[in-house]
Amino acid sequence: MDLGPLPQLVVSGILTGLLFALISVGLTLIFGVMDVVNFAHGEFLMLAMYLTFGLALVGLNPIFALPFVALAAFVLGAIVYRLLIRRLLDGPPSTVVFGTFGLLVFLQGAAQYFFTSDYRSVPNPPFQGTLHLGNVALGEAQLIAGLGALVMTALVFAFVEFTEPGRALRALSEDRVAAQLMGIDVQRMNALAFGLGTACVGAAGALLMLTYPAFPRVGTEFALTAFVVVALGGFGSVQGALLGAILVGLVEVLGGFYISPALKLIPVYALYLVVVLLRPQGLLGRR
Amino acid sequence: MTPRSHGLALGIVVVALAALALGYHNAFVLNLVFVGLIYAVLGQSWNWISGYAGQISFGHALFFGCGAYASALFGVHHGSPWLALPAGALVAAALALAVGFPCFGLRGHYFSIATIAVAAIAEIAVNNIGALGKANGFEMPILAPSLASLQFDDKGQYVLMALVLFAIAQIGTITLERSRLGYYLRAIRANQEAAASVGVDARAAKLATFAAGAALAALAGSLYAQQTLYVGPEDTLALPISIAIALVGVVGGLSTVWGPALGALVYVALARYGGAVLGGQGHGLDLLLYGGLILVIVSWRPDGLAGIGGSIRRFVRRRSAETPA
């Protein structure tokens, strides 16, 4: 049986989806623990991409830059939590929306001012070969980015699932008051969750630079896709985010091929509307 | 402020700007005033749904675009611009009802993201539909200047038209604050369940507000198109426009009569130095300052510039009351 380009598209869709997964896991982690939808999530991704680009200028392969970028993102996230997000949590829910929205505008403006609107790609990008598996041809960079994202997502999952701080994070997302009564330091754990969520986009930014240029508005589209993924998987669910991300990756790649590349995001955004209206708890979320 | 003092303030602003439009023939300044008024109207239309009704929209450019495209289509197909105004407003109101009816059941951020998604879908669609000009948009034909063609050779005339729209938006808001709908919205925002239990239909109240705001934004879009005579997706429908509209609303102060106008004033002043007014990509300093301003306002003064103004007024009044006569 000849499947035509389908196997190629499916593999490509899954690899794209894995990167979405890493970005979305960060978003859903923050949401699950402190009920904050971070509208500036994509801007942290953008900053991580610029940092990776800067490190590449001094000769560092993005893969080796990844731990540094992720660590820097973690620290930045924890600082942003301490300075800004913590203050917002005291206000009505709309305060958080406007606060992270202000952060989005601020960071985008800063990037445009300091880095200009030019597209920046890693000079002499590594992994330019192509692998052939049957009739599936894969760019090495795309493969490494996808697998790297899978490894990072698995690490975050393992942290949340099997470590003591991870257990505390899960306890907070299940029942904040009970967790507090058990002696969990909410402020500390919130800062940890925000740092960890930002570290996810830090790692994703480094991986993304293998195949994608950095520019001030690069985060917006990825963040929007992450909102779709997180809604699909259920706000707060890590496994749901992984599943949702692969579905969205497939929808985007298959839609781009069979409908039109220019229209590939319409089914993705339409998927968001269908999910939140018909199944607001998402595929794996709890109400 | 009482409705009377709001009215007085509006009268002063309108008279002053009308005098400027008629007497001061600096095209550059008048253009800034025009754009500022358009943004004040857009910010106000956003304030109705996202301030008073508490449903935060990040896709408001969709309605602005409805009006702009209505004007463009009527212009290109030789229809009267005076028909484009109600046509765009009607389409925008219908879209608002279509989006709002299912989506007002959603919790806060779900709704906000839904508005981004709907506006993004519309933008992509317009970019790919031949009859809507695709990414190139429309150059509107230049007609003999007259009130009938809504084209003028003097920038001041456009300012006067925008001033009429601005007055409508302000009077609408002053009326809303004192109307039954305004009280319903306040009750819903404070506690939707409690409001529903005394018979307030939250969905109907929000839908009415959303549709009216969408129509108002479309009127601003039509007028904007009449002045630029070019309409494309980048400068009417794109996410940065939606962001700018929300910026104006938040900075000025949510749920206040004068907040959007103050926000628009700051926006135009900053954008003037950032080189970006409506869609153009500036060098980013304006966004940086605006974002910083929002962060300061949100963490210290959620009621924005208008709220700070109110505090100053009360402070001055207290001081003058304490001064022995």
Q: What is the pLDDT of residues B177-195, one digit of tens each?
A: 999 999 999 888 888 888 8
Q: What is the CA radius of gyration of chain A?
A: 19
pLDDT averaged per 10 residues in sequence order, chain A, 287 residues: 82 94 95 90 97 96 96 98 91 85 93 92 89 86 95 94 92 86 90 97 97 94 92 84 94 91 90 87 67
Interface contact B116-A227, CB threshold 8 A: yes
More confident of the two residues A200 and B2: A200
Domain that holds residue A102: 6-116+139-278
What CA–CA distance (Å, rounded) separates B85 from B92?
11
- Within an 8 Å CB–CB cutoff, is residue B292 touching chain A? yes
Percent share of chain B, pLDDT over 90: 57
Q: Is residue A44 part of a domain?
A: yes
Residues of A within 8 A of B117 (CB-CB) are: 224, 227-228, 269-270, 272-273
Strands A136-139 and A130-133: what pairing?
Answer: antiparallel
| pLDDT at residue number A285 | 63
The alpha-carbon gap from B192 to the nearest alpha carbon of chain A, in Å, equals 14
Q: What is the pLDDT of residues B251-266, one digit of tens each?
A: 888 889 999 999 999 8
| pLDDT at residue number B279 | 47
More confident of the two residues B168 and B27: B168
**What residue of A is the nearest CA neighbor of B135?**
A262
| pLDDT at residue number B109 | 82
Helices (H), chain B: 3-23, 27-46, 61-76, 81-103, 108-128, 155-178, 180-190, 192-197, 202-228, 233-236, 239-252, 259-274, 285-300, 304-322
The alpha-carbon gap from B259 to the nearest alpha carbon of chain A, in Å, equals 15
| pLDDT at residue number A279 | 83
Interface contact A112-B292, CB threshold 8 A: no
**What residue of A is the nearest CA neighbor of B298?**
A99
| pLDDT at residue number A71 | 98
- Within an 8 Å CB–CB cutoff, is residue B54 touching chain A? yes
Task: Work out the mean pLDDT of chain B and round it to a whole number.
Answer: 89
**What residue of B is the nearest CA neighbor of A85?**
B299
Total domain count, chain A: 1
More confident of the two residues B321 and A47: A47
Q: Is residue A131 part of a domain?
A: no
Q: What is the pLDDT of residues B128-150, one digit of tens each?
A: 998 998 889 999 998 989 998 89
Q: Is residue A124 part of a domain?
A: no
Look at the alpha carbons of A73, A75, A78, A81 in this order and tell me if their dihedral is positive or negative.
negative
Interface contact A266-B125, CB threshold 8 A: yes
pLDDT surpassing 80 at residue B267:
yes
More confident of the two residues A15 and B318: A15
pLDDT surpassing 70 at residue B273:
no
Q: Is residue A46 part of a domain?
A: yes
The pTM score is 0.91
What CA–CA distance (Å, rounded) separates A114 from A217?
13
The alpha-carbon gap from B77 to the nearest alpha carbon of chain A, in Å, equals 27
- A148, A65 contact by CB (below 8 A): no
Q: What is the pLDDT of residues B82-97, one digit of tens each?
A: 999 999 999 999 999 9
| pLDDT at residue number A125 | 87
Q: Is residue A126 part of a domain?
A: no
Smallest CA-to-CA distance from A65 within A214, A191, A192, A190 is with A214
- Within an 8 Å CB–CB cutoff, is residue B1 touching chain A? no
Q: What is the pLDDT of residues B44-83, one digit of tens each?
A: 999 999 999 989 999 999 999 999 999 999 999 988 999 9
The alpha-carbon gap from A91 to the nearest alpha carbon of chain B, in Å, equals 9
Residues of B within 8 A of A84 (CB-CB) are: 295, 299
CATH number for the domain that contains residue A149: 1.10.3470
- B276, A216 contact by CB (below 8 A): no
Tokens 């942003």, residue located: A80
Interface contact B286-A109, CB threshold 8 A: yes
Most B CBs within 10 A among A112, A115, A271, A281, hence the mutation to make, goes to A112
More confident of the two residues B282 and A178: A178
Average pLDDT over residues B291-301: 85
The alpha-carbon gap from A2 to the nearest alpha carbon of chain B, in Å, equals 32
Most B CBs within 10 A among A50, A82, A230, A276, hence the mutation to make, goes to A276
**Domain boundaries, given as residue ranges, for chain B:** 3-238
| pLDDT at residue number B325 | 47
